[in-house]
Amino acid sequence: MPEEKIWSVSEVNAVVRDIIEGSLMPVWVSGEVGNLTLHRSGHAYLTLKDAASQLRAVFFGGAEQCSRLRIQEGSQVEAFGKLSVYMQRGEYQLNIKALRPLGLGELQRQFELLKQKLAAEGLFDESRKKPIPFLPARIGVVTSPEGAALHDFLKISLARFPELEILIYPSAVQGKGAEKQIAEGVKYFNRYKNVDVIVVTRGGGSLEDLWPFNEEIVGRAIAGSKIPVVSAVGHEIDFTIADFAADLRAPTPSGAAELIVPEKAVLEETFSSLNARILSSVSLAYERAKRRLDALISSEPLRRPAFFVMEKSQQTDMLLREMVMLLDAAAKNAEARYSVAAEKLNAHSPFGILNRGYAMIFGPDGKTPLTRASDAPEGTPLTARLARGSLRLKSEGELN
């Protein structure tokens, strides 16, 4: 008989692990959380179970995510991972790679679809965002009167500016029908125009808790508001359709108060500083003007106005005399220059030559001077112009 092979426990577990890990692809598993342990190492250990069975699971490094998602025993979840074998105990388990509350995948899909739809319509465009008033006189808040969000907002707002007026529109902030109340709250303040800014808020919660703020009716009401809207929904890590549609997103209700309500003490200090600077500037301008006025009053013209007038009159007479002298000298100079020019002109003028006994001979028309004897045949009537007077002549022809 062939010798029987004796397997060790580790060998058996190793074969089982190879079979399981090699034959099964990663899968999504839904179930109820049990035996949850969030270890200080950062890992989460739990059991997934349904009415008939259970499956051990480990989420390496997932303790923080479980806390953030508020996963606790009894929570319904969907886990994605790969089956493996824990060799030391011979137990197979699900090594979780991703974890989400049950139904989160469908809600997330709905959220993304609506987000894309409203974004395509331009409801989230920065160009349509309205500025938040620097110092709103009255704020409208749409939230649950019993919620911690309202308490936090009021506490911070009134501590920063005690005289601030805050109107509250009571609304459900989770559950079926809450989205209609939230949208109606925004429309209410727009209808009566009795506030300067609207705050839509609630505290943190699961995606299902925050879902009313992801409804289309809320997104459209906020985007259509004529009054600036601040969205302060959930925690800093939570984003909703209301956040994208609002003119300003605050990470928390307390953060919304800090963003839109200035501190009165800081404003008073700033005002006092500016007032002091203005008074200082006015005082300095006054002193400068006073010095200039004093200098003007003490000046010679104002102390002895008659003497000043006589002095200026004398200066005017002197200037007039100087102007007359200059004009007379200029006239004499011009006259002398004219005489010289006239003499030069006469010296070169043909009329000046006539004074020396010469004559100018003109043709029959009496206007055209003759320069050639051939231009005056015998018998041609001519005119001789002398220095004084003219003579009428008749040509006897050209001399040979």
Given a contact cutoff of 8 angstroms between Cβ atoms, the answer to whether 76 and 102 are in contact is yes
Q: Which residues of 312-323 are buried (b: 16+ CB within 10 A; e: fewer)?
A: eeeeeeeeeeee
**Residue reference for tokens 């139904």:** 103
Identify the pLDDT of residue 144: 96
Nearest one of 174, 125, 176 to 146, comparing CA atoms = 174
Task: Enumerate residues 6+ apart whose C-beta is below 8 A from 14.
Answer: 87
Give Rg (Cα) of the chain.
Answer: 55
pTM, two decimal places: 0.53
- Helix residue ranges, H only, the chain: 9-23, 63-68, 104-120, 148-160, 178-192, 207-210, 216-223, 241-245, 253-260, 264-297, 300-303, 305-348, 350-354
Identify the pLDDT of residue 303: 61
First to last CA, the chain: 178
What is d(CA 79, CA 97) in angstroms, rounded to the nearest whole number?
8
Identify the pLDDT of residue 348: 67
Identify the pLDDT of residue 307: 62
Q: What is the DSSP string of 275-312?
A: HHHHHHHHHHHHHHHHHHHHHHHTSHHHHSHHHHHHHH
Identify the pLDDT of residue 205: 80
Identify the pLDDT of residue 132: 95
What is d(CA 76, CA 204) in angstroms, rounded to the nearest whole number?
19
* Helix/strand/coil for 400: coil
- Low-confidence stretches of the chain (pLDDT < 50) are none
Identify the pLDDT of residue 1: 55
Q: What is the mean pLDDT of the chain?
A: 86
Domains of the chain by start residue, with CATH: 9-102 (2.40.50.140), 118-262 (3.40.50.261), 352-394 (no CATH)
Identify the pLDDT of residue 268: 79
Positive or negative: CA dihedral 20, 21, 24, 28: positive
Nearest one of 21, 35, 7 to 86, comparing CA atoms = 21
Residue type, 329: A
Task: Enumerate residues 6+ apart whose C-beta is below 8 A from 367.
Answer: none
